[in-house]
């Protein structure tokens, strides 16, 4: 219990407080907690919509805005198509990836988690719920970090410790989900939070459902400013390639064609590593020939996000 030791003072001034120190403290703490976790009406409605999954379908037309990425000039008017307000990286976690400095991209994920002050996990993956994904679990949602994460609709997410955030990332990766991280402006729009540069998104993507694969409509040269492949990342296809087309089915950006019986990557490739992971002939190899790639990724994110 809390004891202020002020009985003599109370007798001298003949004053008795209406509440004990303990009651006053607990009242303050309760208001502080509720102030952090109380949703406004719009966010409460949003939580109700997201929980269903099916109720999200009327919002699918929003994805058509990504088609505007084909139009020079117009694309910069859409916040989530503007390179000045987005900086996203795929972090391939393939076991066979070769890295010059021996720091695997999965470690970059954990470095970002360790650096963040706040961590909030979505209870479900809205993308997989919306599309009723049958290949991957709906129970692994995005991880958000930074001050704005605490302002997300609390009906569909929960704050976690750093240890829980690390464990969540490990579980997602073990299930075959691919980390995509950075400043993702459309998240502010979806969750009705202001863009103050204090929301770091860590999405665990599947190629079949993630809404960010809608960036495939944006030309590669322009897309480099939004989803920039890791500098120094090289994708190579060997003579083992049989032209079976498996990689075409798993490439979310339509970045691969079969030419003369062999897979060829074009400028739409974001270096996600799915082609290497699913190739039945082990014909694809990925390497990162840049000893400083990890710091470059983190510095680029920190230039737009405070977390």
pLDDT digits (tens, 9 = 90+) for 275-292: 999 999 999 999 999 999
pLDDT score, position 21: 61
pLDDT score, position 8: 57
Q: 3-state DSSP helix/strand/coil percent for the chain, to nearest 5?
A: 45, 15, 40
pLDDT score, position 12: 55
Residues 86, 182: Cα–Cα separation, whole Å: 7
* Overall residue count recorded for the chain in this entry: 307
What phi, psi does 278 have (nearest 5°)?
Answer: -100, -5
pLDDT score, position 28: 41
For the chain, which ranges sit under pLDDT 50? 1-4, 9, 25, 27-36
Residues 262, 173: Cα–Cα separation, whole Å: 29
* E strand intervals along 214-282: 233-237, 256-259, 262-265
Half-sphere exposure for 114 (CA within 13 Å, toward CB): 7
pLDDT score, position 31: 41
CA angle 74, 80, 84 (to 5 degrees): 85
Residues 89, 301 contacting (CB under 8 angstroms): yes
Instruction: Enumerate the H helices of 136-208 as residue ranges.
Output: 162-174, 185-190
pLDDT score, position 60: 81
Spatial CA neighbour of 256 closest among 272, 245, 241: 245
pLDDT score, position 146: 97
Residues 225, 83 contacting (CB under 8 angstroms): yes
The SS3 assignment for 226 reads coil
Residues 291, 116: Cα–Cα separation, whole Å: 24
pLDDT score, position 22: 60
């Amino acid at each position: 219990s809390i004891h202020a030791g002020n009985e003599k003072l109370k007798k001298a001034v003949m004053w008795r407080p209406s509440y004990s120190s303990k009651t006053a403290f607990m009242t303050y703490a309760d208001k502080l907690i509720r102030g952090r976790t109380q949703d406004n009406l719009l966010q409460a409605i949003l939580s109700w919509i997201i929980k269903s999954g099916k109720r999200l379908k009327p919002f699918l037309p929003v994805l058509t805005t990504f088609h505007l990425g084909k139009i020079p000039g117009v694309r910069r008017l859409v916040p989530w198509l503007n390179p000045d307000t987005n900086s996203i990286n795929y972090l391939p976690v393939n076991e066979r990836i070769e890295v010059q400095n021996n720091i695997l991209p999965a470690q970059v994920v954990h470095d970002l988690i360790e650096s963040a002050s706040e961590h909030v996990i979505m209870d479900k993956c809205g993308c997989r719920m919306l599309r009723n994904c049958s290949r991957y679990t709906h129970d692994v949602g995005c991880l958000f970090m930074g001050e704005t994460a605490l302002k997300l609709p609390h009906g569909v997410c929960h704050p976690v410790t750093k240890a829980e955030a690390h464990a969540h990332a490990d579980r997602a990766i073990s299930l075959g989900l691919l980390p995509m991280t950075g400043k993702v402006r459309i998240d502010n729009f979806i969750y009705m939070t202001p863009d103050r540069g204090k929301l770091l998104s860590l999405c665990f993507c599947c190629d079949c459902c993630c809404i960010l694969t809608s960036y495939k409509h944006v030309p590669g040269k322009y897309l480099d400013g939004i989803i920039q492949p890791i500098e120094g990342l090289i994708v190579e296809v060997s003579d083992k390639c049989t032209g079976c087309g498996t990689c075409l089915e798993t490439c979310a950006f339509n970045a691969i064609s079969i030419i003369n019986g062999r897979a060829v990557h074009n400028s739409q490739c974001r270096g996600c590593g799915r082609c290497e992971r699913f190739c039945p002939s082990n014909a694809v190899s990925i390497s990162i020939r840049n000893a400083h790639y990890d710091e470059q990724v983190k510095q680029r994110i920190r230039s737009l996000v405070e977390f």
